[in-house]
Amino acid sequence: MNKEHKKLERLMLFSEVARHLSFTVAAKNLQISRGHLSAQIRRLEKEMGLPLLIRSTRSVRLTAEGERVFTGTNKIRHSLLELERNAAHEGKTIEGLIKITAPSLFTERFLLDIFSKFRALHPAIEFLIDSSYTRYDLNSSNFDLAFRATNEPPLNMVGKAILSYQHCCCASPAYFKKRGKPQAPADLKTHQCLRGHEQLTWPFLSAYVAADGWLQINDNHMLKTLALKGEGVIRVPEYVVDQEIKEGKLVAIFKNEMPEGLTIFIIYPQLIHQSNKLTAFVEFVQDYFNNKTDHQ
């Protein structure tokens, strides 16, 4: 079914190019990149085993096969319009399941609250979430959208920036009382630095410091738990520990030494028509974080 869905989507993309005989105009109307549109048409031609367009540097023309396919897509477009008219009333309802993949601590810190507030407005909405750090390919997986920390969202996806953050280096007051508070990043060499598997060094503006400690674990939640127990110093995204720092349970160090951070993006495939529920949810998430920024 997913393969058929993608082929139908490509046929509709081809229909837009055929209507205007221009990739530039079609891409603008569809609000997708020209490169993505061109790649999808080439894939459609490969799947069908037919040349649909004759391309030159200045123009686009339909082949005989392209003319026949274009006639067929017009019939499909007409049928879709009829379906939209018949389902106009139902289409206004925001309901159904939204499938999301997102990092576990971002889910705990923000998404659970977002889900609750969104359902207060739209009680017929349900959520399914994969709370992990797996970077699924949204074009081939069954998820509607993803939340990812990156400074370069995938070019074949829609990416909307919602939250910028830096990392934070911190430990509990009890740990610093017992081991002393480091005055510079280099002082961490004599401390227990609890880290993720790949964090061989911790980057600071003045130096890269070897992160040596008695534990490596690929779970920021467990790192925070250990820091709260006074077991060592951790370096995690600031939104993971901002509440504990505000409450005095953890103490941040080297705030002025932290390099440029990352941005959380909400990412989803480039579709011709986005469903009402996803459009409403994406807009709600953007407003949620805009309001948080306004009140900081």
CATH 3.40.50.1370 fits 2-86, yes or no: no
Q: Which of 5-9, 44-48, 108-112 has the lowest mean pLDDT?
A: 5-9
Q: Kindly state the tokens that stand for 5.
A: 């869905």
Confidence of residue 2 (pLDDT cuts 50, 70, 90): low
pLDDT score for 90: 46
pLDDT of 131 strictly over 70? yes
Q: How far apart, in Å, are the Cα atoms of 1 and each of 7, 131, 162?
A: 10, 26, 32
pLDDT score for 87: 52
pLDDT of 88 strictly over 50? no
pLDDT of 83 strictly over 80? no
Q: Which of 6-10, 37-41, 130-134 has the highest mean pLDDT?
A: 37-41
Region 28-45: mean pLDDT is: 90
pLDDT of 118 strictly over 50? yes
Q: What is the CA radius of gyration of the chain?
A: 25
Express as a percent the part of the chain with pLDDT over 90. 52
Higher pLDDT, 137 or 102: 102
Domain with CATH 1.10.10.10 in the chain: 2-86
pLDDT tens string 142-186: 899 999 988 888 888 889 999 999 999 999 999 999 999 999 999
pLDDT tens string 272-295: 566 789 999 999 999 999 886 554
Which string of DSSP letters, residue by residue, matches the chain?
A: -HHHHHHHHHHHHHHHHHHHT-HHHHHHHHTS-HHHHHHHHHHHHHHHTS--EEE-SS-EEE-HHHHHHHHHHHHHHHHHHHHHHHTHHHHT---EEEEEEE-HHHIIIIIHHHHHHHHHH-TTEEEEEEESS----TTTSS-SEEEEEESS--TTEEEEEEEEE-EEEEE-HHHHHHH---SSGGGGGGS-B-B-TT-SEEE-SS-EEE---S-B-S-HHHHHHHHHTTS-BEEEEHHHHHHHHHTTSSEEE-GGG----EEEEEEEE--SS--HHHHHHHHHHHHHHHHHHHT-
pLDDT score for 81: 65
Question: Using an 8 Å Cβ cutoff, are 103 and 132 in contact?
Answer: yes
pLDDT score for 76: 83
Domain with CATH 3.40.190.10 in the chain: 93-152+276-294, 167-257
Confidence of residue 82 (pLDDT cuts 50, 70, 90): low
- Average pLDDT over the chain, rounded to an integer: 88
pLDDT of 257 strictly over 50? yes
pLDDT tens string 208-223: 999 899 999 888 889 9
For 93-152+276-294, which CATH superfamily applies?
A: Periplasmic binding protein-like II (3.40.190.10)
For 167-257, which CATH superfamily applies?
A: Periplasmic binding protein-like II (3.40.190.10)
